[in-house]
């Protein structure tokens, strides 16, 4: 599934993995409003300062694992690759998601 319906049209992600992929795309597109809307209210920051990451060039996402723990909880392990000032970096995270009121939300994650 493409991320457009989620980001542009306010559609709901069918799974935690689809939400993870759409959130990666939102970081690439600097769509702070979508990132905040898909972040669980219990852990969501007040704001995101995405213009500070303008020098970041996202280069790829690899979802390593999507595990549905029960009907309302899932984890997604991913590696996101990016460059800052031409230098390559990677973000390896195991993220936690919760399904509430018919929608998936990002809760938090552990950097590996």
CATH architecture of 4-111: Roll (3.10)
Q: What is the pLDDT along the chain (112 residues), one digit of tens a residue?
A: 466 656 665 678 889 999 999 999 988 888 899 999 999 999 999 998 876 566 788 999 999 999 999 999 999 999 999 998 889 999 999 999 999 999 999 999 999 9
On whether the pTM is more than 0.85, the answer is: yes
CB-count exposure of residue 29 (10 Å: 0-12, 13-18, 19+): middle
Ordered by start, the domain boundaries in the chain are: 4-111
pLDDT score for 3: 61
pLDDT score for 1: 45
Query: Do residues 31 and 38 touch, judged by C-beta distance below 8 A?
Result: no
């Amino acid at each position: 599934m493409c991320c457009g319906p989620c980001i542009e049209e306010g559609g709901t992600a069918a799974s935690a993995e689809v939400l993870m992929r759409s959130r990666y795309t939102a970081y690439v597109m600097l769509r702070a409003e979508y990132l905040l809307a898909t972040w669980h209210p219990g852990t969501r920051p007040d704001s995101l300062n995405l213009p500070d990451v303008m020098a970041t060039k996202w280069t790829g996402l690899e979802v390593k694992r999507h595990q549905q723990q029960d009907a309302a909880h899932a984890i997604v392990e991913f590696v996101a690759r990016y460059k800052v000032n031409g230098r390559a970096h990677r973000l390896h995270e195991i993220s936690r998601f919760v399904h509430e009121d018919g929608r998936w939300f990002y809760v938090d994650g552990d950097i590996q």
